[in-house]
Structure 1
Amino acid sequence: MSTIAIVGAGPQLGRAIGRRFAAEGFDVALIARTRSTLETIAGDLTGGGRRAEVFPADVTDRDALRDALTAAEQRLGPIDVLEYSPAPTPADLRRAPLVRAREVAVDGVLAAQLDLYLLGGVAAVTHVLPGMLARGTGTVLVSSGAGSGPLIAPYAASVQIATGGLRNWILNLHADLAGTGVYAAHVAIAAFIGQGGPASDPATIADAYWRLHATRADAELVIDDLPADFRERGLADKFLTG
């Protein structure tokens, strides 16, 4: 049986991705900070012989993140698919508030954003990648808000420096992994998940993740469901969903 590890698993997108892959026969490892949230999601995914296990960890604590992934491998077997999509909590935003492009400074809030997005993503991916390469198969799907590249977001520059770096690395990883049997792709989400049109429905987005894994072709998928007036008012820079 195959295993997907969802890092940053939450009650909307994480749950939907877990449900979609579980429907295809995957066991699901759920990794995020809050055990109670993970246990609620796991209870919704089990059945039909499928397993969903919880491994609480903060992605900004790299040792804890690697320990959670190791525990998932020990309980559920090798990780065949890694999905990384950390979402900031109110505490994260207080610790690392949004900063306009003109206000970014080295000795400012940038380090906390790099911690959450770029360094956590690199830690998760590089943990599972050697095993995937050794087996000659595996999928890495990394998600961020579309301000990581496809969407310009000056108000959230402190976030976009971090997510832009992660996106760039994954796109390069996609190219570098050609011929290895391991596939990496970036998903740029320009949508209020669960709050907009049909394209923002968590199940619809999860279907797109499954297609990426199944077809293993595209380096990037952009999910665009922002309202037109949201763009016209110049508020797209406040969109942070990942």
Structure 2
Amino acid sequence: MTTFALVGAGTGLGLATARRFGVAGHAVALIARNPERLEEMTAELARDEIQACGFPADVLDIESLTTALHAAETTLGPIEILQYSPVPRADFMKPVLDTSADDLDAPLSFSVKGPVTAVHAVLPGMRELGRGTLLFVNGSSAVRPNPNVAGTSIAFAAESAYASMLHDALTAENIHVAQLIVPGAIRPDSAHSSPDVLAQRLFDIHQQRDGFRHYAEPLPD
């Protein structure tokens, strides 16, 4: 059994994706800051007979994120799939003219240093397996800068560039890197962007391994 590791585990998309990969036979490593929420999610997955375990970590803390991913691999088995999809903080989303250089420290740590740390933690295990999938989930500002959320727009663009370079660099090693852009809000009643629909989409991307960038639905005009 290999492991699906979810960085940014939450009760919406995160739980749905964890369930989808768990039902497919993967152990599930849930990584987030809140230990109580991780316990609740683990218990919910256990009711579906999914082996899951929570590992508290903060993506802004490189050491804690690395430790969590290594602990997940030791506890559950080799990480075959990594999904990086933590939700940005509200204070990352100032208008561009109100955004100072210091305001970019946390968003860039969140969306660049966090992914780089996570990838470096799991890549040796994927190479040993001879396969792997790295999934990045972003909002529309990753591909269409929004001056009302400057910090996230800048940081997501940098994350997109990093993920795109990884896609090109790792293809020959049978490690697929993909990005899913979710243009609007994730809502249970959405035909294209509900948690369950997006979870299936991410599972399909993992299985089909066809291209780097995918869209949950077309970007609005």
TM-score, normalised to structure 2's length?
0.93
Structure-1 residue corresponding to 2:212: 219
Within 5 Å, which residues of 2 pair with 1:160-239?
Answer: 160-194=153-187, 197-224=190-217
User: Alignment partner for residue 154 of structure 1, among 129, 140, 147?
Assistant: 147
Distance 1:157 1:50 in 2: 39
CA 1:24–1:153: 2 relative to 1, 3 Å:
same
CA 1:48–1:224: 2 relative to 1, 3 Å:
closer
Of 24-33 and 135-144, deviating more is 135-144
Structure-1 residue corresponding to 2:117: 123
Distance 2:73 2:49 in 1: 18
Q: How far is the alpha carbon of 1:23 from its aligned partner?
A: 1.1
Structure-2 residue corresponding to 1:100: 95
What is the identity, as a one-letter code, of the residue corresponding to 1:171?
S
1:199–1:225 Cα contact (<8 Å) kept: no
2:188–2:195 Cα contact (<8 Å) kept: no
CA 1:49–1:158: 2 relative to 1, 3 Å:
closer
Q: How far is the alpha carbon of 1:117 from its aligned partner?
A: 1.4
2:56–2:68 Cα contact (<8 Å) kept: yes
The reply on whether 1:144 has 2:152 as its aligned counterpart is no
What is the identity, as a one-letter code, of the residue corresponding to 1:11?
T
Return 5+ residue gaps in structure 2 as ranges.
none
What is the identity, as a one-letter code, of the residue corresponding to 1:145?
G
2:137–2:180 Cα contact (<8 Å) kept: yes
2:92–2:106 Cα contact (<8 Å) kept: no
Task: Give aligned-pair identity as a percent.
Answer: 35
- Equivalent residue of 1:59, what SS? coil
1:183-210 C-alpha deviation (Å, 9 max, x unpaired): 1111111121125521121000000000
Distance 1:52 1:181 in 2: 26
Structure-1 residue corresponding to 2:82: 82
The reply on whether 1:8 has 2:3 as its aligned counterpart is no
What is the identity, as a one-letter code, of the residue corresponding to 1:206?
A
Distance 1:49 1:189 in 2: 29
1:17–1:203 Cα contact (<8 Å) kept: yes
Q: How far is the alpha carbon of 1:13 from its aligned partner?
A: 0.5
Of 126-135 and 109-118, deviating more is 126-135
Q: How far is the alpha carbon of 1:98 from its aligned partner?
A: 2.1
1:197–1:225 Cα contact (<8 Å) kept: no
1:132-180 C-alpha deviation (Å, 9 max, x unpaired): 123320110011112111x331111111111110111111111111221
Distance 1:130 1:105 in 2: 37
Distance 2:212 2:148 in 1: 27
The two structures, once aligned, show a CA RMSD in angstroms of: 1.8
Structure-2 residue corresponding to 1:110: 104
- Equivalent residue of 1:199, what SS? coil
Distance 1:47 1:129 in 2: 31
Distance 1:211 1:113 in 2: 29
What is the identity, as a one-letter code, of the residue corresponding to 1:53?
C
